[in-house]
Amino acid sequence: MTDVQAKVFDIVAKEARLDRSQLSLDDKLEDLNIESLDMVQILFGIEDEFDVYVPQEDDSFRLDSLGDVVNGVKQLIADKETQSANAS
Amino acid sequence: MYRSAKPVQRTLADLAKSLGARLIGDGAFVVDGVAHPMAAESESILALAMDDGSLAALPGTKARTVAVAADADIDIGGFAGGLVVERPRYALANLLDIFARPPRAFEGTHASAVVEESARLASDVSVGAHVYVGPHAEIGRGTVLMPNVTVGAGARIGGNCLLHPGAKVGERVVLGDNVILQSNATIGADGFSYVTPDVGSVEAAKRTGKVTAQNFEIVRINSVGTVILGDGVEVGANTAIDRATLGVTRIGRGTKIDNLVQIAHNCTIGENCFIAGSVGIAGSVEIGDRVVLAGGVGIADHVTIGDDAIIMARSGLGSDVPAKGIFAGYPAVSRETKMAEVLNLRRLPRLVRDYISLKKRLSDLEKKIG
């Protein structure tokens, strides 16, 4: 399990009060029955942990499954690192 | 003499049929009550294990029958029988209706009660200790007035109503059938209606944005209207529903109102609404059918809320809400807008940090170019 995946799973398990050991990349978010306010807390947690901004109205940033969330975060980190490299 | 609840006994098969539940095991097993698995005092109690917590408590139960949710991961083979239900809370409502424990109502009219001669009570109305029923009041069949209930002159209360101790029904108020008022619910108090002889502070502030007038005298506006509660309305403890100034403050059929709610004069509330604790609704608000107001919501006067809307806890509504709207916050906005606001507020510290960093980089760039 990658570091990003581990941290995303930690955040989801904590904020949605789920069993961390039962989470998998294939889990659909709607099947996990995560309440909307918990989803907001998960977004907070991801933005704070990885120092990224999760786009709110970007259709290309899908959040259907935990795998989507992990891949999305990895992309945001990569974009941030590219921007930093271009600036220096 | 007080009415005692008759003991209820039902077979497991009967219960399965009543609940629309799947029966497992011995359908002839007789059940005489329901309880949490650890609170079951005898084998004839049906243990309710329809959630994870009570499921975990099953191994220690004395009960020989159990009710579980359809998605429960459990083998109930060790029990005499069981019920498997699709909707646990709905099953609970049905079970607690079957095994209800109604309050101990006085049989007839207690000696300490005062019932005015012109009041008309059905023959089987229960009138408890220290109840007062005013002149020309009417009370329908099967209604129970617990101790210290007051019913004002000209009030009309339908059949099979239950008024808990201390409930107060004002003059000319109308309650439909099957209405429940919890302790000290007050229906028909005067509306909070006052006027200043000259333009007052709020009137002036609304026009000019400043306090340019002062309220040196407050004059009461009498409330001569009434309140009508539809069939099946329930009102919580210490909740107040004020009478209208001239017409009717109306609560539609089936609406349920929690404790410590204030509903002001001239409001019209639709059918089958949920109004949770500590909600405050100002005057002349119109609320549609099947609306949900979560705890602590505050609604300003003359607001309209459409059918099926949901207002989240502690929201403050100063403007109308469309049908099926989900609104949150103060001032209340749509839930999506509120979530975006909250997220952006949370981002502020990082945005400030990034802004400062960008400013420095820009300054450094300008120095290099300059």
Full pLDDT tens readout for chain A, 88 residues: 679 999 999 999 999 999 999 899 999 888 888 887 788 889 889 999 999 988 876 666 667 889 998 999 999 999 888 877 876 6
Give CA–CA dist B243/B191, Å, rounded: 6
Is A81 within 8 Å of chain B by CB?
A: no
pLDDT for residue B41: 93
pLDDT for residue A60: 63
Partner residues linked to B300 by β-bridges: none
pLDDT tens per residue across span B355-364: 999 999 999 9
How many CB atoms are located within 10 Å of the residue A30 CB?
Answer: 9
Is A63 within 8 Å of chain B by CB?
A: no
- The minimal CB distance from A87 to the residues B340, B342, B361 is found for B361
Is B335 within 8 Å of chain A by CB?
A: yes
**Cα A33 off chain centre by:** 16
Question: Which pTM does this prediction carry?
Answer: 0.86
Candidates A15, A44, A52, partner chain B, best to mutate (most B CBs within 10 A): A44
* Element holding B203 (H helix, E strand): helix B201-208
pLDDT for residue A40: 84
Residues of chain A found within 8 Å of residue B339, distances taken between Cβ atoms: 36, 40
Mean pLDDT of chain B: 95
HSE-up of A68 (CA within 13 Å, CB side)?
Answer: 12
For chain A, give the DSSP string.
Answer: --HHHHHHHHHHHHHHT--GGG--TT-BGGGGT--HHHHHHHHHHHHHHHT----SS-TTS--SBHHHHHHHHHHHHHHHHHHHHHH-
Kindly indicate whether the ipTM for this predicted assembly is greater than 0.85, answering yes or no: no
Residues of chain A found within 8 Å of residue B350, distances taken between Cβ atoms: 47, 51
Give CA–CA dist B154/B80, Å, rounded: 56
pLDDT for residue A35: 80
Low-confidence ranges of chain B (pLDDT < 50): none
Compare all CA atoms of chain B with the CA of A54 and give the residue at the minimum distance: B343
C-alpha separations of B321 from B35, B234, B290, B306, B309 in Å = 42, 24, 14, 6, 7
B134, B153 Cβ separation under 8 angstroms: yes
CB contact under 8 A, A56 and B350: no
Residues of chain A found within 8 Å of residue B355, distances taken between Cβ atoms: none
C-alpha separations of B186 from A37, A73, B190, B240, B298 in Å = 36, 55, 10, 5, 19
B57, B49 Cβ separation under 8 angstroms: yes
* Token digits of residue B47: 């243990």
pLDDT tens per residue across span B251-287: 999 999 999 999 999 999 999 999 999 999 999 999 9
- The minimal CB distance from A40 to the residues B343, B350, B361 is found for B343
pLDDT tens per residue across span A9-29: 999 999 999 999 989 999 988
Q: Which residues contact B84 (CB under 8 A, 6 or more apart)?
A: B21, B22, B24, B67, B68, B69, B70, B72
* Token digits of residue B128: 């408890």
